[in-house]
Structure 1
Amino acid sequence: MNALFLGMAFVLAAAAGYWMLGRGKPRPAGTWAMGSLLLSFGLAFASYAPVVQDAVGATIPHVARLLSNSFALMAATSVVALMMQVNLEPDDARRRIHSCVVILAASLIALTALFAWEQLDHDSSRIHALYLLTFVGSLTFTIVGFLRQALLQAGTAVRGSVTVGLRTAAVGCVFALLYVAYKTTVLVSLGLGYHLAYEGERCSSLVAGSCAFSVTAPALGVLLILVGLTLPAVVYPIQQARRRRWEMRSFDRLGPLWQDLTDASPEIILSDADLDPRTDADFRLQRRVIEISDGLLTLLPYRSLEVQLAAQRAVAASSDSGTSTGSAITEAAVVTAALAALRANQPQLVPAPADTGTGTRAADLRAETEWLLLVADAYAHSDLVRVTNGGHPDPVGA
């Protein structure tokens, strides 16, 4: 138990330090709220550790309960503040966050006063009930507010990682509400004298008795909320790195086709720009796609219908029949022959029709790139393209 809770506390404290101090400037909205959230949850986990409870309990009996409850309220308020900073206009967010901080401060003062009164009155059940009522009311208000915002934002989020993250956090709220329900049961039992639940039991297992609700439920709630809120921040740089790698590889794969098209029609090359391949991969790829598309337009009068039909027959007899790869092989064969006709200045009397899918891909750079990659790969490597064009082993212009 000590290793689990103290380990989580250390990890969360380290994450809070990185989030608030280790990131570059300017820091995005919600940085400090996220840092305080991580730190508060870390302190809450530390307060669950038996060794910490024993250490602070030796000074003031049961003070670990006050600490964990206080840190839980602070963390819950930080969660709501983070959502407001990210989703609302700055002025509106500041106004609402100020109200949440006032409620938090009032709740913490009330909890501390009631805890001290309870200690002086020798653990009066009535005072403890007031303490629980204050804690449960404040925590429920905060959790429900966050749950409502998380579900609303999950329904309108554009990025999939944000949607998944918010829904994960919403599941965490459900576990937190189970904890609230347990505290409410304790409160009712104190008020009615039924003793339906016992608070103060030392937990040696995460699933035994009331520990499943008093420790495991809030711990799972914390973990799911943290995972949900940090998932987009973790996934986004991974997605960006994968996208840049795809862009750089696609740029290189389009090279042979682009080279032959620009050799035949130099006018399609856009104005030069000083671009960094590592940071401007998207722009470089977009330029290359545009230049290849322009080059293919210059070949329209030279597209051989005879070559197109021959390529279609060859593809129909192959394993690529009826696939996008098969269509790309046919297009690559036509492009290869058209480049040769352009160099020989021999336009076709009845040119072959252009690829019919161009219009549907016009507004989708990735779809157009994927199509051109198939054509470029077939142009450079397909044996069917070489056979259809008289068995020439080398691309035109190579």
Structure 2
Amino acid sequence: MACLLAVAAGYWVLGRGTPRPTGTWAMGALLGSFAVAFASYAPLVADGLEAIVPHVARLLSNCASLAAATSVLAISFQLNLDPVEARRRIRLRLALFAASAIGMTLLFAYEYMTHRSEQVFALYLLLFVSYLGFAVVDFLLQAVRQSRTTRRSSVRLGLRMAALGCVFALVYVAYKLTHVVSAGLNLHLVPEHSQCTSLVAVPCVFSVTCPALAVLLICLGLTLPAVVYPLSQARRRRWEVASFDALGPLWRDLSNAVPEIVLSPVDSDRGSSADADFMLQRRVIEISDGILALTPYRCRTVQRTAQSLTAADTEEAAAAVEATVVKAALAASKAGQFADEVAPPSAEAASRKDLRGETEWLLLVAAAYARVGDTGQLETVGA
């Protein structure tokens, strides 16, 4: 875990390129702090350090945990607040972290020199737990509040995962508070020098499992949007290219009948993945303009006949009716025959207010258009 976190920290700090996204350094500090904390648990590292100074691995782990908590807050502030307010809050948290880390180091040194005084150890734990609990609650409130207002599902899910990680962190804080009371009052509520033989055994479930789950969920929650975004973008581009192609037959018939709808010449009949959004948007606009230009040829009788043949009141049925009207209007336009009674535009088309909604509607119309006979009559509608 420590090695994986160290590699992830290196990627965030060194592999992000320029300009660096907001929160890059804070995220690198978060992952690096967690890497140090987990490394301090490893027997090889802990034994090597404690051969020089007994129990110093505990101080290293605790300071790294506080640094990670501070980094989480810094990321949250940088992403959710304006730069001036974010810097003000980060400076305050850094000052609190520095005071806590220095205080813990002084108490640790005094404890070492006095041969492990229980009261000094209790003060050490109190400093550690106080700042950690403050940071966890601070981030938990921010994560819950932001998850209710964000629009991106990956960010919302990531914040909720991080909030769940905070819950496990609070369990760990409660365990440490119990340790403070036990050490300060000599109650011996927590077994001393116990070895962890299982991640679900007491007290290991509180001292190791809960912080490990907190680290995992917080790291996954904060990095999830960065991982999901390129995947969602690639999926969106594939959909745009496929939609561009699917609208091709309808667009060609409309552009042949009404050449002026074409906004500008194109070198290729297929939208590349790089400019698929632009090509698709233009194709949707041109098809919509073509359908609008055919208004004088849209026959109301054809529309009523198609509606009588539909089997259900669905989007697919409405698209089939529209495709039939468009097909008949193209034939009438070619013959120069105006409609005696003009068919009104589809209500379903008017309800689509954005590009994706309009594209999805035209995809249904294009699919139905391919099934309409050359005479403009439905071959199968709603079957």
* Residue equivalent to 1:101: 94
Alpha-carbon distance, 1:110 to partner: 1.2
Note the 1:110-259 alignment, pairs <5 A: 110-259=103-252
* Residue equivalent to 2:357: 367
* Residue equivalent to 1:5: none
The 3-state SS of whatever aligns with 2:75 is helix
Alpha-carbon distance, 1:391 to partner: 8.8
The 3-state SS of whatever aligns with 1:386 is coil
The yes-or-no answer on 1:91 pairing with 2:84 is yes
The yes-or-no answer on 1:346 pairing with 2:370 is no
* Residue equivalent to 1:21: 14
Report if aligned partners of 1:310, 1:388 keep a CA contact under 8 Å in 2. no
CA RMSD of aligned residues (A): 1.8
Residue deviations 1:2-23 (CA, integer Å, cap 9, x gap): xxxxxx1111111111111112
Distance in 2 separating the partners of 1:278 and 1:311? 37
User: Which amino acid letter does the alignment assign opposite residue 341 of structure 2?
Assistant: V
Alpha-carbon distance, 1:273 to partner: 7.4
Note the 1:247-326 alignment, pairs <5 A: 247-272=240-265, 277-316=272-311, 321-326=312-317
Q: Mean alpha-carbon deviation: is it higher for 199-208 or for 58-67?
A: 199-208
User: Which amino acid letter does the alignment assign opposite residue 294 of structure 1?
Assistant: D
For structure 1, the residue ranges without an aligned partner over 5 or more in a row are 1-7, 393-398
Alpha-carbon distance, 1:182 to partner: 0.6
Q: Mean alpha-carbon deviation: is it higher for 44-53 or for 102-111?
A: 44-53
Report if aligned partners of 1:329, 1:378 keep a CA contact under 8 Å in 2. yes
Alpha-carbon distance, 1:351 to partner: 2.1
Alpha-carbon distance, 1:309 to partner: 3.1
Distance in 1 separating the partners of 2:305 and 2:82? 62
Distance in 2 separating the partners of 1:32 and 1:109? 23
Report if aligned partners of 2:160, 2:221 keep a CA contact under 8 Å in 1. yes
The 3-state SS of whatever aligns with 2:351 is helix
Distance in 2 separating the partners of 1:229 and 1:279? 28
Distance in 2 separating the partners of 1:115 and 1:55? 18
The yes-or-no answer on 1:37 pairing with 2:27 is no
User: Which amino acid letter does the alignment assign opposite residue 343 of structure 2?
Assistant: A
Residue deviations 1:303-347 (CA, integer Å, cap 9, x gap): 12333233333333xxxx333222212211111111011011101
Distance in 2 separating the partners of 1:274 and 1:139? 61
Equivalent pairs, count: 377
Report if aligned partners of 2:299, 2:340 keep a CA contact under 8 Å in 1. no
Report if aligned partners of 2:301, 2:341 keep a CA contact under 8 Å in 1. no
The 3-state SS of whatever aligns with 1:357 is helix
TM-score using structure 1 length: 0.90
Report if aligned partners of 1:303, 1:337 keep a CA contact under 8 Å in 2. yes
Alpha-carbon distance, 1:388 to partner: 6.3
Distance in 1 separating the partners of 2:241 and 2:35? 41
Report if aligned partners of 1:186, 1:199 keep a CA contact under 8 Å in 2. no
Distance in 1 separating the partners of 2:29 and 2:259? 58
Q: Mean alpha-carbon deviation: is it higher for 269-278 or for 57-66?
A: 269-278
The yes-or-no answer on 1:376 pairing with 2:366 is yes
Identity of aligned residues (%): 60
Distance in 2 separating the partners of 1:28 and 1:274? 36
Alpha-carbon distance, 1:261 to partner: 0.4
For structure 2, the residue ranges without an aligned partner over 5 or more in a row are none
